[in-house]
Structure 1
Amino acid sequence: MTTRIRGVLAPVLTPFNRRLEPDVNRFIAHCRWLIDNQVSLAIFGTNSEAASLSVNERLSMTDALLSAGIPAARMMPGTGGCSLADSVILTKHAVENGALGALMLPPFYFKGVSDEGLYAYYSEVIERVGSDRLKVYLYHIPQLTQVPITLNLIETLRKRYPDTVVGAKDSSGDWPNTKAMIDNFAKDGFDVFPASESTLSKALPLGAAGCISATVNMNPGGIHALYQGCNSAQGETLQANADVIRKIFQAVPMIPAMKRVVAEFSADPGWQVVRPPLVGLDDSTAQGVLTALRDAQFTMPGYPGR
């Protein structure tokens, strides 16, 4: 039986150099720091600026991680997108290299598509990859895609591919929807990952598998401690501490804010670079974030610097 990935995962930030090319050395160092802090890697998620990366860039960056000794068993690459052919290439590469899951956005350019059309997309990817090792995690983020992963779609895919469609990330920010996913499917082995650590204390007792959260990039140790100890005597304190950091970042544009903070803690200004159409955080907002983090006694212990 194939091991399933559970616990806390970071949608890993993608560093760029001044030519707006992926900076592989920074990427490897960041991933290694996350692994050392006991979390796993949802490379090429939303906060990775994945929609701004080409297929070749994603493949070469994955290969670089593997060559650097980052274990494939700690990866859940994002492989979904608008192009069926591209999704097949990315998903097949993930499976062939030992990743334990593929996090798959729906095709999001066309709006108002039916569950029937989304079923056809996911089914085509699964059939063309053609591996019993493939584990698909559906990615529900309707505020960006405007193409929801409905409970009906999950049920239909699970009936046809119960051993392949094994989980979902719910980035809707809608707790009733997350709870409905857990209530309807977790008992049958479907792993639901909320997208915010702020829901861990109520999601884990219901059967959630963990969380895939942007701020794991910044606070992996604190969020892993919360995952491990949310039902302990320290649970309320761990949740409150994680919530403080989460609220600081989600009050501002999160990707440029996280990159600005990494630049500060690594003493590496190059980390601030985002790929257009995103823009970097302005100095005033950045100083507000850094002040709030200092007030919260935030640190990134052991982070590699230049």
Structure 2
Amino acid sequence: MNPARDLPISGVFCAAATPILDSGEPDHPIFASHCKALLEEGCDGIALLGTTGEANSFSIAQRQALLDDLIVAGVDPRRLMPGTSQTNVADSVTLTRHAVECGVAACVVLPPFYYKGVSDEGLFRFYAELIEKVGSNDLRIVLYHIPPIAQVGLSMELVARLVEHFPGIVVGIKDSSGKLESMQGFASTFRDFSVFSGADPFMLPLLRSGGAGCITSSSNLIAHHLRLVFDNWFDPARTGEVDRAQERIDAWRNLSNAYVQLPTVKAMLARRRNHDGWTRVRPPLVELGPDEIETVWRRMEELEAIEND
């Protein structure tokens, strides 16, 4: 039996990229199609509107509409974990309350990231006011620790205080610090608390340290490999198979970092989903150039050929 399944939330969650129309609006039908494919390919759920989903490049109304239309298209809200944070409490409450009313599994909540050097007390007040103003027993929060991007991190002491004050609501954390020891520290410190790796190479060692799984960008492309690792990491008879899958995961992850990661992932999706519109990104990001796309696609063909041998 997979020990990770005993945690409040666990599994392979895709930090889903958002396809964009020429107008700059999210492409709702293509997004719904992509999310359904991800679930078929092995994802337990979809963590939409996070960093990979370019959430902070969209308005509140755009974010709400994308979630609404995804559910209307037939995706079970219980398999969704949208990002619902903004740099202020009021907008974060609006997004989070809307998501809870939609029936999502949990909300992934960044700290307010505009002001730097803020105290744990200030961050606690942000999360406490958010939780209290949403005012729902159905609210589940997965904290989002991504100091390389937000430049505002979540300390062990802050997380402990939030878990103590809001039991059953603050149920986990996505750790995108890039430091395995940070993920393992959260997993070893808190019981019945879901710690997700924000990078694919760390999911396997994190699972072995009591982690819950992953929320990653590469799962847009390699959910089946991550599914194999998650389902079998604890079985000594499957160690060789798991290690080979992890090697493939690492190779695809490395390719996604060949250039700026998000435009690269979207270029890869353009080939995988056979839809050129996937290459579009919102400002301030810039799409890959034709030569870069050609290089990435050629390397994708090489990786696929290796897997098919």
TM class by shorter chain equals over 0.9
**For 1:275 and 1:30, how far apart are their aligned partners in 2?**
19
Match of 1:82 in 2: 87
User: 1:287-302 to 2 correspondence within 5 Å?
Assistant: 287-297=294-304
Q: Give the paired residue count.
A: 297
Q: Given the alignment, which residue of 48, 52, 64 partners 1:47?
A: 52
Aligned pairs for 1:208-219 within 5 A: 208-219=211-222
Instruction: Report if the CA contact (8 A) 2:221-2:272 is conserved.
Output: no
What is the aligned partner in structure 1 of residue 152 from structure 2?
A: 147
Candidates 194, 197, 200, aligned match of 2:197: 194
Partner of 1:38: 42
Q: Distance in 1 between matches of 2:272 and 2:193?
A: 37
State the match for 2:78 in structure 1: 73
The corresponding residue for 1:304 is none
Q: Which residue type is aligned with residue 60 of structure 1?
A: A
* 1:161 partner amino acid: F
- Say whether the 8 Å CA contact 1:200–1:230 is kept in structure 2: no
Give 1:31's aligned amino acid: C
SS at match of 1:137: strand
Query: By how many angstroms is 1:262 displaced?
Result: 1.6
Shift of 1:60: 0.7
Q: Distance in 2 between matches of 1:226 and 1:253?
A: 26
RMSD across aligned positions (CA):
1.7
2:18 maps to what in 1? 14
Match of 1:222 among 225, 232, 241: 225
- Identify which of 218, 237, 241 aligns with 2:244: 237
Amino acid paired to 2:103 = G
Distance change >3 Å, CA 183–CA 262, structure 1 → 2: same
Structure 1 unaligned segments of length 5 or more: list them: 301-306
- For 1:236, give the aligned amino acid: D
Report the identity percentage.
36
Aligned to 1:260: 267
SS at match of 2:172: strand
Alignment-derived partner of residue 285 in structure 2: 278
Q: Mark the CA change 1:298 to 1:271 in structure 2 (over 3 Å): closer, same or farther.
A: farther
Q: Which amino acid aligns with 1:28?
A: A
Q: Compute the TM-score of the two structures, normalised by the length of structure 2.
A: 0.92
The residue number in structure 2 matching 1:122 is 127
Q: How far apart in 2 are the matches of 1:248 and 1:189?
A: 34
Paired amino acid for 2:82: P
Name the SS for the 1:20 alignment partner. Answer: coil
Change (3 A) 1:224 1:130: same
Q: Note if contact 1:263-1:271 (Cα within 8 Å) is conserved in structure 2.
A: yes
Q: What secondary structure sits across from 2:82 in the alignment?
A: coil
Shift of 1:230: 2.5
Deviations 1:240-295 (A, max 9, x none): 11111111112321211111122123332111111111111112222222222211
Q: Can you list the C-alpha shifts for 1:138-160, whole angstroms capped at 9, x where unaligned? A: 10000111110110100111111
CA contact (8 A) 1:13 1:49 kept: yes
Aligned 8 A contact 1:167 1:191 in 2:
yes
1:249 corresponding residue in structure 2: 256
- C-alpha distance in structure 2 between counterparts of 1:81 and 1:149, whole Å: 16
Alignment correspondent of 2:63: 58
Verify the 8 A CA contact 1:8 1:212 in the aligned structure 2.
yes
SS of structure 2 residue aligned to 1:296 = helix
* 2:32 corresponds to: 28
- Greater mean deviation of Cα atoms: 29-38 or 223-232: 223-232
The alpha-carbon deviation at position 38 of structure 1 amounts to 2.6
Q: Does 1:131 align with 2:136?
A: yes
How far apart are the structure 2 equivalents of 1:147 and 1:299?
40
- Between stretches 286-295 and 131-140, larger displacement belongs to 286-295
How many Å apart are 1:298 and its aligned residue? 6.6
* Offset at residue 205 of structure 1 (A): 1.7
1 CA distance for matches of 2:203 and 2:232? 10
1:226 CA drift (Å): 1.5
Partner of 1:206, secondary structure, is: coil
Greater than 6 Å deviation, 4+ residue runs = none
Q: Note if contact 1:73-1:99 (Cα within 8 Å) is conserved in structure 2.
A: yes
Alpha-carbon contact 1:4-1:100 (below 8 Å) kept:
no
AA aligned to 1:141 is I
